[in-house]
């Protein structure tokens, strides 16, 4: 077990903070063993790609590095795939595409690990984890016991789940099982720039591999590489508001972008709201809103977590004052 361990290499924002104690675990038994030390509190670290660290972390940081991808059940058109919580998310998507398994291709190039994916109910380009989720296994940090959660128990919402509410900080997700299609894939092409990108690539009859490649191209064109510029991707959730709010905004901004929701409300892109407030490409000290996508906050080098947090709250305040819409952070701020 390491003491006063730097977490700089383990968070994509590139923030220098230290863990009081740090342990990397590769098996469930490793986790159960380290929990018996009784060191508290316990924080689970995955890919560090949805995390803004603003201070040193007391207690024990457990780095989930449990690997493994296994087909555990086959149906006529579907397979259940059990994936270790420490597996890189994009590596899993690439494995699925390579093996002709559909359902997660729209989630290509999302940073982070498989174990973190249900916590956030990660989603992109019209697909969310809940669409392919079967169940997960997790270790209760208080008891060391293995628990299983089905879809209903996870309480999935928009970038939300049980593990961000009542279950927050209580479990380490050690594996997730997904239901993927072997053929007759239900392709989701209607969101974002997918269709336009496929047309530019002269793809007339796309399959899951072509969709994955298109989304990788789109994401790389809009989002900075954390290896070059520290960031966590989308920092804020896209707000879901009543239609009356949209109509009020449309009075002064007739070109406002919005998406209808099943419950009658609408979703407004947070990036559009932030851009209208003048933040896109604006630099504040060592941090700022990315020049190609206002939704992404970046560390230009040497920024502290406190600096990034201050910028985030300044953006939240300005959007509230101008539009009467309260942005929420998608990133976990510690």
Does residue 318 have a pLDDT over 90?
yes
pTM beyond 0.85: the answer is: yes
Closest alpha carbon to 306 in 45, 55, 110? 55
Q: How far apart are the first and last CA of the chain?
A: 22
Residue 197 phi, psi (nearest 5): -65, -40
Q: How far apart are CA 142 and CA 116, in angstroms?
A: 19
Does residue 192 have a pLDDT over 70?
no
On average, the pLDDT of the chain sits at 94
**Cis status, amide bond into 41, omega within 30 of 0:** yes
Q: Are 57 and 20 in contact (CB under 8 A)?
A: yes
- Selecting among 159, 175, 210, 212, the annotated active-site residue is 159
Q: Where residue 203 falls among pLDDT bands split at 50, 70, 90?
A: confident
Closest alpha carbon to 195 in 211, 184, 208, 171? 211
Question: What percent of the chain is predicted at pLDDT more than 70?
Answer: 100
- DSSP, collapsed to helix, strand or coil, labels residue 129 as helix
- Selecting among 117, 212, 234, 258, the annotated active-site residue is 234
Let me know if 73 is a catalytic residue.
no
Structural domains of the chain, ranges and CATH numbers in brackets? 2-64 (3.30.43.10), 69-181 (3.30.465.10), 230-333 (3.90.78.10)
Q: Where residue 188 falls among pLDDT bands split at 50, 70, 90?
A: confident
DSSP character at residue 16:
-
Q: What is the DSSP string of 250-313?
A: HHH-TT---EE-TTS-EE--HHHHHHHTT-BT-EETTEEE-SS-TTEEEE-SS--HHHHHHHHH
DSSP character at residue 239:
P
């Amino acid at each position: 077990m390491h003491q006063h361990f730097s977490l700089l290499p383990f968070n994509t924002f590139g923030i220098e903070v230290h863990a009081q104690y740090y342990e990397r675990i590769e098996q469930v038994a490793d986790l159960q063993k380290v929990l018996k030390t009784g060191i508290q509190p316990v924080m689970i670290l995955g890919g560090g790609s949805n995390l803004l660290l603003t201070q040193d972390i007391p207690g024990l940081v457990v780095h989930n590095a449990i690997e493994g991808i296994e087909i555990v059940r086959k149906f006529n058109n579907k397979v259940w795939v059990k994936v270790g919580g420490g597996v890189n998310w994009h590596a899993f998507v690439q494995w699925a595409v390579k093996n002709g398994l559909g359902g997660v291709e729209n989630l290509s190039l999302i940073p982070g690990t498989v174990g973190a994916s249900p916590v956030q109910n990660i989603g992109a380009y019209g697909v969310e984890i809940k669409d392919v989720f079967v169940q997960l296994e997790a270790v209760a940090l208080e008891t060391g016991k293995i628990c299983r959660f089905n879809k209903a128990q996870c309480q999935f919402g928009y970038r939300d789940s049980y593990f961000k509410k009542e279950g927050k900080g209580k479990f380490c997700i050690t594996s997730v099982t997904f239901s993927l299609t072997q053929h007759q894939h239900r392709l989701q092409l209607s969101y974002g720039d997918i269709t336009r990108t496929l047309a530019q690539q002269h793809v007339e009859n796309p399959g899951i591999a072509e969709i994955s490649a298109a989304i990788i191209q789109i994401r790389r064109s809009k989002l900075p590489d954390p290896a070059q510029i520290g960031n966590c991707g989308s920092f804020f959730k896209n707000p879901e508001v009543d239609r009356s709010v949209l109509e009020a905004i449309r009075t002064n901004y007739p070109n406002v972008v919005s998406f209808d929701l099943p419950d009658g409300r609408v979703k407004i892109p947070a990036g559009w709201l932030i851009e209208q407030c003048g933040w896109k490409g604006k630099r504040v000290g060592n941090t700022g809103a990315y020049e190609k996508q206002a939704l992404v906050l970046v560390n230009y080098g040497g920024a502290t977590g406190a600096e990034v947090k201050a910028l985030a709250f300044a953006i939240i305040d300005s959007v509230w004052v101008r539009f009467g819409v309260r942005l929420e952070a998608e990133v976990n701020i510690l």
